[in-house]
Amino acid sequence: MTAGVARAGAGPAAGPGEVLRLESVRKTFGGQVVLRDVGLAVPEHSVTALIGASGSGKSTLMRCVNLLERIDDGAIFLDGEEITDPRADEDAVRRRIGVVFQSYNLFPHMTVLDNITLAPRRVHRAGRAEAEARALELLERLGLAAKAKEYPDRLSGGQQQRVAIVRALAAGPRLLLLDEITAALDPVLVGEVLSVVRDLKEQGMTMVISTHEMGFAREVADQVCFLDDGVVLEQGPPEQVFGDPQEERTRRFLSRVVASGRLQG
Amino acid sequence: MSGDARTAEPVDVAKDAAGDADDGYRPSERRLAHEAYRRGRARRSALIATASTLVTAVALYLLVVNSPGWEVTRRTFFNLDYARQALPEVLRGLRLNLELMLGCGVLILVFGLLLAVLRTLRGPVFLPVRLLATAYVDFFLGLPMIICLLVMITGVPALRLSGVTTDPLLLGGAALVLTYSAYVSEVFRSGIESVHPSQRAAARSLGLTNAQAMRYVVLPQAVRRVVPPLLNNLVSLQKDTGLVSIGGAIDAVYAAKIIAAHSFNFTPYLVAGLVFIVLTIPLTRFADWLTGRMNRRQFQGGAV
């Protein structure tokens, strides 16, 4: 079972260069509707920012894309293949999607280097030397080469989160999901993590980012999606969503954000 | 009591701080006064603790010595001649206990871990395996050790199976392994469940299969966490090796019993008991030390 599942009968064909597509996704938790009817298209080499209040379903959406949660209805396509088809190979899908979590979730019993080389060695069957060389190269680029032999609990939050990004990258993902990766960091450390994301965008990585850092979303995103009450209420280029929001609820959300100092008005 | 704890600790911290800083800092009058006061409190606590311990010890001693049967008890349980006679025999028997403990200990760890992992398997194919493992653990957790031993030592030879040992030592050891594997598998299982689900989620999101996530991420953390409780099980196993003597193997307890049986003096039992205690104390302290060390080390940096 490799990634070739369910190409037939997968519904409408994906647009050219489209990495991720969500169609009418619905997800409930015990009677509570978290995602009501979410549609989304993520072109290749683009950055999509998900914004919205806490509890608006941003994290749930991420977990659904990575198949950590099973959706109730609708469909999710990765490179045109329906990954929510029950016949799809979940492990094969996850291999192509990298995830970085708010709480880092590094493995505390492994060194930084072992954290990063785990997937390349065990999933992608790379040799130790090859995997470590690649990991060190990535760490070097993020200025973390000196920390390769350290255990995660010896690192600052910002360093841990950057290692988590390297760990996700080392598996060579087609798509990177960043789930509020700066929410647990103090303001001084936020910058170093965001600059890594900026570099990734430069290199053409396709990313979906959920964030409360509106200024950053505005700067780095190609499209911004405002999630509200389980639907994508407003979607468009950042200048439009932030500069000229069409929906009343978007305006209200953004004015609250401006009031809290997370975005220059 | 809480007052003691408050006075005891900051004193050390303050001493350290004064010791390692090398920036020309002079402790203020206020600090010196506070420290002097805390030292006074600490001295007072130590005095009270000593006095109360002495009073308790003396009271216990008087109670025992003045009991009506003390003279007889002293002669039957605390006879130095018999103690001297019993000690070498008991120590010779102890070798068997230690061998049993080590041999069984290794098997128990392997079976216990296997049972724990079998019970975490998901998927319809594994239902019978899961059910069997669960039934096994339920059965042997409830079955008293002594009954398990009797059934193994007397029951198995009665079957007269060819090729199956009738050696009471091996059968007794097998009974220990059967029972303790159930205990130890519960310890491992609690360790597996104590690893936060986000760790498994992180592993799965990297593309690791369920089995790989278990092997590389969950189990290494789980096993580390259960080392202290496992050591407690080892202490308990060490004592229970003495039960194997009901099958006639001459271990420390049985050696004591032989002497006691022809002298009608129970001192050898006491000697055997003391030998076991002397053996377990270091193990228990080691378990305590390890637990304390792991608690201090655990996640200082705040990784989930």
Instruction: Annotate A205-232 with b (16+ C-beta within 10 A) or e (fewer).
Output: bbbbbbbbbbebbbebbebbbbbbebeb
B16 within a domain of the structure (yes/no): yes
- Alpha carbon distance B244, B257 (integer Å): 13
Evaluate whether ipTM surpasses 0.85: no
pLDDT at A14: 47
Long-range contacts of A216-221, Cβ-Cβ distance < 8 Å, separation of 24 or more:
A217/A49, A217/A51, A218/A242, A218/A263, A220/A47, A220/A49, A220/A194, A221/A47, A221/A48, A221/A49
Which one-letter amino acid corresponds to residue B244? V
- Whether B303 is in a domain gets the answer no
Q: Are both A88 and A209 inside the same structural domain?
A: yes
Distance from CA of B208 to the nearest CA of A (A): 6
Please give the structure tokens belonging to residue B154: 């007397």
Residue A78 · residue A41 · CB < 8 Å: no
β-pair partners for A231: A37, A228
Which pLDDT belongs to residue B122?
Answer: 81
Instruction: Please count the structural domains in chain A.
Output: 2
Which residues 60-89 on chain A approach chain B with CB closer than 8 angstroms? Answer: 66, 68
- Boundaries of domain holding A75: 18-96+174-259
Q: Does A66 sit within 8 Å of B207, measured CB to CB?
A: no
Chain A residues within 8 A of B224 when measuring between CB atoms? 109
In a domain, A210, yes or no: yes
User: For residue B210, what is the nearest residue in chain A, using CA coordinates?
Assistant: A91
Residue at a domain's end among A118, A139, A171:
A171
Q: At CA B145, angle to CA B142 and CA B147, rounded to 5?
A: 90
User: Tens digit of pLDDT for each residue in B12-47?
Assistant: 444 545 555 678 888 899 999 999 999 999 999 999
- Residue A102 belongs to a domain: no
Confirm whether B128 is domain-assigned.
Answer: yes
Pick out chain A residues at pLDDT < 50.
1-14
CB A10 within 8 A of CB A80: yes
* Chosen domain end from B66, B101, B116: B66
In a domain, B47, yes or no: yes
pLDDT surpassing 80 at residue B2: no
Report which DSSP code applies to A13. P
Chain B contact for A91 (CB, 8 A cutoff): yes
Q: What pLDDT does residue B298 have?
A: 54
pLDDT tens profile B169-221: 899 999 999 999 999 999 999 999 999 999 999 999 999 998 999 999 999 99
pLDDT value of position B106: 95
Among A107, A119, A155, beta carbon nearest to B207? A119
Q: Are residues A155 and A183 in the same domain?
A: no
| Alpha carbon of residue A116 to chain centroid | 18
Same domain, B59 and B138: no
Q: How far is CA A129 from CA A109, A120, A136, B56, in A?
A: 21, 11, 10, 66
- B195 close to B222: Cβ distance less than 8 angstroms: yes
Beta strand pairing call for A175-179 and A207-210: parallel
